[in-house]
Amino acid sequence: MAPFSTILFLVLLIAPLCSATLGVQYYDQTCPHAEDIIYQTIRNASFFDPKVPARLLRMFFHDCFIRGCDASVLLDSTPENKAEKDGQPNLSLGAFYVIDAVKTNLEKACPTTVSCADIVAIAARDVVAMSGGPYWNVLKGRKDGRVSRANETVNLPAPSFNTSQLIQSFANRGLAVKDLVALSGGHTLGFSHCSSFEGRLHNFSSVHDTDPSLNAVFAQSLKQKCPKPNSDRNAGQLLDPTSSVFDNNYYKQIISGKGVFASDQSLLNDYRTGLIVKAFANDQATFFREFAASMIKLGNVGVLENGEVRLNCRAVN
Residue 265 placed within a domain: yes
Burial string for 276-305 (b: 16+ CB within 10 Å, else e) reads: bbebbbeebeebbbbbbbbbbbbbbbbbbe
Q: Please indicate, yes or no, whether residues 179 and 285 belong to a single structural domain of this protein.
A: yes
Question: If you ran DSSP here, which 8-state letter would residue 96 be given?
Answer: H
Residue 213 placed within a domain: yes
C-alpha 84/C-alpha 110 separation (Å) is: 28
User: Could you read off the pLDDT of 13-61 as tens digits, one per residue?
Assistant: 333 344 467 999 999 999 999 999 999 999 999 999 999 999 999 999 9
Residue 21's domain spans which residues? 6-156
* DSSP H/E element including 239: none
CATH number at residue 244: 1.10.420.10
Q: Please indicate, yes or no, whether residues 178 and 143 belong to a single structural domain of this protein.
A: no
Does the pLDDT of residue 12 top 50, yes or no?
no
C-alpha 22/C-alpha 138 separation (Å) is: 9
User: Could you read off the pLDDT of 131-151 as tens digits, one per residue?
Assistant: 999 999 999 999 999 999 999
Residue 312 placed within a domain: no
Task: Return binding residues for Ca(2+).
Answer: 63, 68, 70, 72, 84, 188, 240, 247
Cα torsion 284, 285, 290, 296 to 10°: value is 110
Q: Are 161 and 170 in contact (CB under 8 A)?
A: no
Number of folded domains that form the chain: 2
Q: Find the catalytic residue in 62, 193, 202, 208.
A: 62
Task: Return binding residues for substrate.
Answer: 157
User: Could you read off the pLDDT of 275-298 as tens digits, one per residue?
Assistant: 999 999 999 999 999 999 999 999
The predicted structure's pLDDT at residue 2: 44
* DSSP H/E element including 200: none
Over range 185-198, report the average pLDDT.
92
Query: What's the whole-number average pLDDT of the chain?
Result: 92
Residue 92 placed within a domain: yes
Q: Please indicate, yes or no, whether residues 129 and 173 belong to a single structural domain of this protein.
A: no
Chain centre distance of CA 303: 17
Q: Please indicate, yes or no, whether residues 97 and 179 belong to a single structural domain of this protein.
A: no
Q: Please indicate, yes or no, whether residues 203 and 224 belong to a single structural domain of this protein.
A: yes
Q: How far is CA 224 from CA 75, 212, 244, 253, 270, in A?
A: 37, 17, 23, 19, 29
Q: How far is CA 111 from CA 21, 73, 311, in A?
A: 21, 22, 8
Q: Please indicate, yes or no, whether residues 230 and 92 belong to a single structural domain of this protein.
A: no
C-alpha 26/C-alpha 137 separation (Å) is: 12
Residue 306 placed within a domain: no
User: Could you read off the pLDDT of 49-106 as tens digits, one per residue?
Assistant: 999 999 999 999 999 999 999 999 999 999 999 999 999 999 889 899 999 999 999 9
Q: Please indicate, yes or no, whether residues 14 and 92 belong to a single structural domain of this protein.
A: yes
Higher local confidence (pLDDT), 228 or 136: 136
User: Could you read off the pLDDT of 230-243 as tens digits, one per residue?
Assistant: 888 889 999 899 98
Question: If you ran DSSP here, which 8-state letter would residue 15 be given?
Answer: P
Cα torsion 191, 288, 304, 82 to 10°: value is -10
* DSSP H/E element including 282: helix 274-282
Q: Please indicate, yes or no, whether residues 152 and 168 belong to a single structural domain of this protein.
A: no
Burial string for 143-164 (b: 16+ CB within 10 Å, else e) reads: bbbeebbbebbeebbebebebe
Out of 141, 156, 171, pick the residue that ends a domain.
156
The predicted structure's pLDDT at residue 308: 96
Any catalytic annotation for residue 62? yes
- This model's pTM is above 0.85: yes
Out of 105, 130, 156, pick the residue that ends a domain.
156
Rg (CA), the chain: 19
Rounded to the nearest 5 degrees, what angle is found at the Cα of 211, between the Cα atoms of 206 and 216?
125
pLDDT confidence band for 264 (50 / 70 / 90): very high
Amino acid at 169: S
CATH number at residue 97: 1.10.520.10
Q: Please indicate, yes or no, whether residues 87 and 205 belong to a single structural domain of this protein.
A: no
Out of 156, 171, 187, pick the residue that ends a domain.
156
The predicted structure's pLDDT at residue 126: 98
Residue 53 placed within a domain: yes
Q: Please indicate, yes or no, whether residues 177 and 268 belong to a single structural domain of this protein.
A: yes
Residue 224 placed within a domain: yes
- β-bridge partners, 81: 78
Q: Please indicate, yes or no, whether residues 79 and 117 belong to a single structural domain of this protein.
A: yes
Higher local confidence (pLDDT), 167 or 10: 167
Residue 168 placed within a domain: yes
The predicted structure's pLDDT at residue 112: 97
Q: Please indicate, yes or no, whether residues 150 and 167 belong to a single structural domain of this protein.
A: no
